[in-house]
Structure formats: structure tokens, C-alpha cells
Structure 1
Amino acid sequence: MTPWMWFWAPQLHLPFSGNLAQQIEPNTDWFFNGIQPKAGNADVEKQAFNIASYGKQLGLLTEVLLSIADAESVDPKKAAESLARLKEIRQKIEDLKSENAAKPAEAAVALLDKLRADDRQQFDIVLQRYTARPET
């Protein structure tokens, strides 16, 4: 086929003839980004999920609760292990929360410092807004 007749050239696409590169790592950010700001901190939730998934936490809670409700339904040794693991997870998550407690304030201070350096007039407006009226 000659180059000046390119518009009559058939476009044939066989299976596996295109780009075969594919990202197979699951993207779970949609789940944590769906957490409303009033409900909690999505970053902390994601880090807590990495410590122990919700299913893992529920499984441990179920074993401990069943051992309390019906001692014969769960092996006491397994229930004690689950309780110990649950306490460990709780401590790690509490540590995580305390580490992240100051981050919003630090981010706000950094943003205010940047605003003061970039636009002093807007900084004064923001400062006046938060110092002029009583807290609600």
C-alpha cells in the first residue's frame, strides 16, 4: 500500500495486540477518601487499617465475646490469645492517634506562615477573622 492511500488501510486489532501493561495493585484510596471529615481522619483510618484490617479486628472481638458469652464455644487459650492481640492492636492505634493529633495544627501553622510570607493582607484578614469574634 502506498503512503498516500493511508485512509484505505484497514485497522486490524487482534487480541493481545495492544498495550499489555496493567497495574494490578488494588487501589483502596476510594474507601478512605469516602470518610467524611466529621467522622474521622482518613489518613489515621488508613494507617489503622494497615495495623489490623476491620475483618481481623472483628474476628478477634467475636472470639473474645463468644468466650465470655459461652465458654464452651471457643477454646479458652485461643480466646486469651485473641484478647492479647486485641489489646496490642488497640495500643498501636492509640499511639497512632496521639502521633497524628498535632498534624492538623502543624499544617495550619505552616499554611498561615506561607500566607503571611506570600500575602500579608490576606493573612491579616484571616487573623482578624479568628481573633475578632468569640469561639462558637
Structure 2
Amino acid sequence: MPTPFDIWSPIFRAPFSGDVTQEITPRFLSPDIKGSPAIEEKVVREVASYGKQLGKVLEALQALSAATDTPLPEIDALVEQVEAAKADAKAALRAEAAAALARLKAVDEDAWREVRGG
């Protein structure tokens, strides 16, 4: 049974009421991108993601910090947070895979054995 909110929900969006993912790949002819969107897209698709590029910059900053004995606590904290987020994502993916394998075993043990490699 519809509620009065159903009429307004397509018009008004509360925080986190819709997709909360954000694509950060360059969009062709976007006013958000300075320079050449075609080059940006090529670099991201063929060379390295923004995360990979930023990771290299952070590594370089940490190497310079160590070489010059100049502490960069904000950079170190950022690197730790990134590594923690990566570890969390890997753990979640691992748990998701284990749950999927358990479901497969419950419904099709032969397929489960095949996927497990034996």
C-alpha cells in the first residue's frame, strides 16, 4: 500500500537515500576537468588509476621524509588510513567469497569441488 511519502520520494533525496558511490573517472567534455579529458581518460584506463598515482606520490613523500629526517605525520596517518581501508575491503571480499562458497556447497557440492580445484 503506497504511503504519502512515495509520491515525494522521487523528488526529494535524503542523505544516503540513493546511490552513495561516486565515479571519479573523467567524463568526456566535462567542465570539471582542466586540461585534456581524452588524455586523463587514457592515463586512468591504460597507465594507472588515480589511487595508484596518489599512492606513488605518498610513497615518494614518505621516502623524502625518511631521507631528510623531516616528519610528515599527516602523510603517515593518511597512508595508515588507506592501508586500513584496503585491509578492510580485502577482508570483506574474503568473507563474501567464503559465504558464496558455503552457499554453493549447500546447493551443488560437485560445483563447489570444481571451483575449489578438486
The two structures have a TM-score, normalised by structure 2, of: 0.46
TM-score, normalised by the number of residues in structure 1: 0.41
